[in-house]
Amino acid sequence: MSSGDSAVSGDHASIVVDGLGKTFNVPVREPGLRSAVTSLFNRKTNDVVAVDDVGFTVEAGEIVGFLGPNGAGKTTTLKMLSGLLHPSEGQASVLGYTPFDRDKEFLRQITLVMGNRNQLQWDLPALDSFEMSRAVYRIPRPEFVEQRDELIELLDLGELVSKPVRNLSLGERMKAEIANSLLHRPAVLFLDEPTLGLDVTMQRRIRSFLADYNRRHNATILLTSHYMADVEALCRRVMVINNGSLMFDGDLELLSERFGGHRTLVVTLSEPADLSTYGEVVDDSTPSRPSIRIGGDEAAAVTARLLAEQPVIDLTIEQPPIDDVIERAFGVEADTA
Amino acid sequence: MSTLRWYGDLYLTMARLAIIEQFQYRAANYMYMIGMVAEPVVYLVVWSVVATQQGGEVGGMTPRTIAAYYIVWTLVRNMNIVFTPFGWEQRIREGQLSGQLLRPLHPIHYDLAFFAGWKVVVIVMWLPIAAVLAWLFRPEIDPRLSQVAVFAVAIWGAYLIRSMLLWMLGMVTFWTTRVGAAFDFFFTAELLLSGRVVPMRLMPDWAQTLARYLPFESTFGFPITALVGPISDAELIEGLVRQAFWIVAGAVGVALMWRRATKVFTSVAG
């Protein structure tokens, strides 16, 4: 199917998904010799639904966070949208192409970056891998040089691109991976945990680079991350998926307010004290450093009271981890279903 | 950029990267090649002894023509190193194939170009090994110009045929995950019917007839015999035509299997 001839319509949309599903047929066997022998003659399989009836639209230039616990179906969805997996049901259109047709023009306009995968040549400097990408994506040399140098500068790669990839740290390698994935200036970026395992400084650098790339090229970005900071810095809109089904699609603020409005105060005291009147004590394993949970709109007032009434040495306000927010969202969804 | 120029650029770029990478591992490559030389030297010694015991020749081959056969064998064997089914198992298990599928390029081009680049390194490193073997075993070789020309083409033909055969075998991994047993079966058939263990002219008639209908001889026996002889110009052309047939058949087979294989691909390694 060519661009503009999509089965799923969407005038200015980069990504249109309708009723998308993926079921894996997985062999199952009890442990032990007997079941091993039995399985020779009577092989049993289970259908595992990884993605079930998912539908959404992402406009061109939008950055959308795709959230959910491990095994929720995020990566499977990204793989279907990038053409790596055939869906069991439903339709998807990315830039007007059906991803699983794996049209070469489609593949030239997208990228999928997975935080735990390495696409660079391990034994060679990243510059050599960049050269290979130039040849594969048919990038004219002047354009390639301009784009390469710009990415090296923006990602602060400097001399790192001249070292063999095996000698780079995880963060350095990730930056080089991202540069390599963007040399052909893709219009749609599927990012699966792009900041996985990186230190805070490196995470921030990559976040600001992605925001900049989105602004400059009006690129559409679908991002999965377990770091709330990634999502907050980049995405106004989030989609939450669990057990393969889409549970929430809307503003990030709405998600946090609805499901994760609480804050955790970690208080360091000069002597132990009972803080249960200030909020729900969630951790008092160290009596002089308890943690209490309060409502998000109470943070300022409770902090002021604590500082005035208790022997506080130090105090930290923590936002709920994204998994907590999502977990609460699922709890509420289940209760109201 | 025209498609042909693009493929040219692509192959040159990837082959250049393979050369850079493999020269980094020249010591490992040399050890590998030296280890590989052990196999033909064993065959060479055994057949030379047999020839000597039978009054100086076996099946029309003297110890010096046998030496020529197995010294050329070492180059042809190295030219025949391609991406193996074991590599396919690893590719799928570790999720490397996902990265290749995201590129707007059939992954076979990457393998063909990469291993072709490696061959350049192999040929450079093979020359001193061949010189030592020639000094030790005094091969008798006197090819015509047509033989040298056909040999130069046939070793690349052999490389293409074997690449595609093992690609097809490797793609079975999409359906079965483990293909080690199938590869062992293939390897045994190839060993016996290619001219690898024994020059085909020393094999029984039924084996020679069977080999004519299989691709293996085009990957070993033909290129070696093309240079070492005895072979007529008509046989040289026939050999090239056979190679061309197997290249086309291999390409069609790879294309058909690949189309089906990508549909069943479910990223085992996630």
Strand A220-224 relative to strand A188-192, pairing: parallel
Write down which residue in A226, A256, A286 finishes a domain. Answer: A256
Q: Which DSSP string corresponds to A98-124?
A: -GGG--HHHHTTEEEEETT---S-TTS
Q: What is the sign, positive or negative, of the torsion defined by CA atoms of A148, A98, A85, B250? A: negative
Name the pLDDT band for A8 (thresholds 50, 70, 90). very low
In this model, does residue A222 exceed pLDDT 90? yes
| Predicted pLDDT at A214 | 93
Write down which residue in A207, A223, A256 finishes a domain. Answer: A256
Residues A28 and A138 in one domain: yes
Asked, for residue B269, whether it belongs to a domain, the answer is no
Distance CA A320, CA A335 (A): 21
Instruction: Report which of residues A5 and A90 the model is more confident about.
Output: A90
Asked, for residue A8, whether it belongs to a domain, the answer is no
Find chain A residues with C-beta within 8 A of B104's C-beta.
104-105, 107-108, 136-137
Number of domains in chain B: 1
In this model, does residue A323 exceed pLDDT 70? no
Which of A7-21, A168-182, B19-33 ranks highest by mean pLDDT? A168-182
Distance CA B173, CA B168 (A): 9
Contact status, residue A133 vs residue A178, Cβ threshold 8 Å? no
Contact status, residue B99 vs residue B182, Cβ threshold 8 Å? no
Chain-chain contact of B99 with A132 (C-beta, under 8 angstroms)? no
Burial class (CB in 10 A: 0-12, 13-18, 19+), B146: middle
Distance CA A306, CA B254 (A): 71
- Whether a cis peptide bond, with omega within 30° of 0, leads into B230 is yes
Asked, for residue A43, whether it belongs to a domain, the answer is yes
Instruction: Report which of residues A72 and B154 the model is more confident about.
Output: B154
Find chain A residues with C-beta within 8 A of B6's C-beta.
138
Q: What is the CATH number of the domain that holds A169?
A: 3.40.50.300
Q: Which DSSP string corresponds to A223-265?
A: EE-S-HHHHHHH-SEEEEEETTEEEEEEEHHHHHHHH--EEEE
Find chain A residues with C-beta within 8 A of B17's C-beta.
121, 124, 128, 131-132
| Predicted pLDDT at B178 | 66
- Cβ neighbors of B139 (< 8 A, separation 6 or more) are B64, B65, B67, B68, B71, B133
- Backbone dihedral angles phi then psi of residue A316, each to the nearest 5 degrees: -125, 135
ipTM here? 0.81
Scored b (16 or more CB within 10 A) or e, B84-111 reads bbeebbebbeebbbbbebbbbbebbebb
Of the candidates B266, B265, B83, the residue with the CA atom closest to the CA atom of residue B167: B83
The shortest C-alpha distance from A105 to chain B (Å) reads 7
Residues A234 and A270 in one domain: no
Distance CA A38, CA A21 (A): 32
Asked, for residue A106, whether it belongs to a domain, the answer is yes
Residues A186 and A128 in one domain: yes
Asked, for residue B203, whether it belongs to a domain, the answer is yes
Note whether A49 contacts B: Cβ–Cβ < 8 A. no
Strand A89-94 relative to strand A245-251, pairing: unpaired
Chain-chain contact of B20 with A128 (C-beta, under 8 angstroms)? yes
Asked, for residue B142, whether it belongs to a domain, the answer is yes
Beta carbon pairs, A and B, within 8 Å: 63
| Predicted pLDDT at B54 | 87
Of A24, A107, A132, the CB nearest to B104: A107
Kindly report the number of other CB atoms within 10 A of residue B178's CB atom.
13
Instruction: Report which of residues A124 and A297 the model is more confident about.
Output: A124
Would you state the structure tokens that stand for residue A285, as one six-digit string? 């394993």
Distance CA B114, CA B73 (A): 22
Per-residue pLDDT of chain B (270 residues; tens, 9 = 90+): 688 888 899 999 999 998 888 888 878 888 888 888 888 888 888 988 888 888 888 888 888 999 999 999 999 998 888 988 888 877 777 777 888 888 999 999 999 999 999 888 888 888 888 999 999 989 999 999 999 999 999 999 999 999 999 999 988 888 876 667 778 888 899 989 999 888 898 899 999 999 999 999 999 999 999 999 889 999 999 999 999 999 999 999 999 999 888 877 754 444
Of the candidates A63, A73, A85, the residue with the CA atom closest to the CA atom of residue A222: A63
Asked, for residue A4, whether it belongs to a domain, the answer is no
Would you state the structure tokens that stand for residue B110, as one six-digit string? 């990457």
| Angle, CA of B43, B223 and B76, to the nearest 5° | 55
Instruction: Report which of residues A43 and B18 the model is more confident about.
Output: B18
Would you state the structure tokens that stand for residue A252, as one six-digit string? 């990030």
Note whether A216 contacts B: Cβ–Cβ < 8 A. no
Residues A188 and A289 in one domain: no
Residues A293 and A275 in one domain: yes
| Sheet hosting strand A280-283, strand order edge to edge | A280-283, A291-295, A262-269, A312-318
In this model, does residue A55 exceed pLDDT 90? yes
**Residue given tokens 């990559």 in the structure block:** A206
Asked, for residue B270, whether it belongs to a domain, the answer is no
* Average pLDDT over every residue of A9-25: 81
Find chain B residues with C-beta within 8 A of A50's C-beta.
none
- Cβ neighbors of B240 (< 8 A, separation 6 or more) are B150, B153, B154, B157
Question: What share of chain A in percent tops pLDDT 70?
Answer: 89
Residues A209 and A277 in one domain: no
- For residue A240, give its domain range: 13-256
Q: What is the sign, positive or negative, of the torsion defined by CA atoms of A179, A184, A185, A190? A: negative
Residues A271 and A250 in one domain: no
Distance CA A32, CA A13 (A): 52
| Predicted pLDDT at A119 | 80
One-letter amino acid of A205: R
Write down which residue in A256, A291, A311 finishes a domain. Answer: A256
Closest residue in chain B to residue A101, using alpha carbons only: B263
SS3 A299: helix
| Sheet hosting strand A89-94, strand order edge to edge | A44-59, A13-28, A89-94
Of the candidates B217, B106, B117, the residue with the CA atom closest to the CA atom of residue B161: B217
Distance CA A226, CA A320 (A): 12
Asked, for residue A327, whether it belongs to a domain, the answer is no
Strand A110-114 relative to strand A89-94, pairing: unpaired
Distance CA B134, CA B76 (A): 16
Chain-chain contact of A138 with B13 (C-beta, under 8 angstroms)? no
Residues A59 and A113 in one domain: yes
Contact status, residue A138 vs residue A127, Cβ threshold 8 Å? no
- For residue B232, give its domain range: 3-264
Chain-chain contact of A83 with B101 (C-beta, under 8 angstroms)? yes
* Average pLDDT over every residue of A179-198: 89
Burial class (CB in 10 A: 0-12, 13-18, 19+), A36: exposed
Which stretches of chain B sit within 8 Å of chain A by CB? Answer: 1, 6, 9-10, 13-14, 17, 20-21, 24-25, 95, 98-99, 101-105, 262-263, 265-267, 270
**Residue given tokens 């997985």 in the structure block:** A26
Q: What does DSSP assign to residue B118?
A: H
Number of domains in chain A: 2
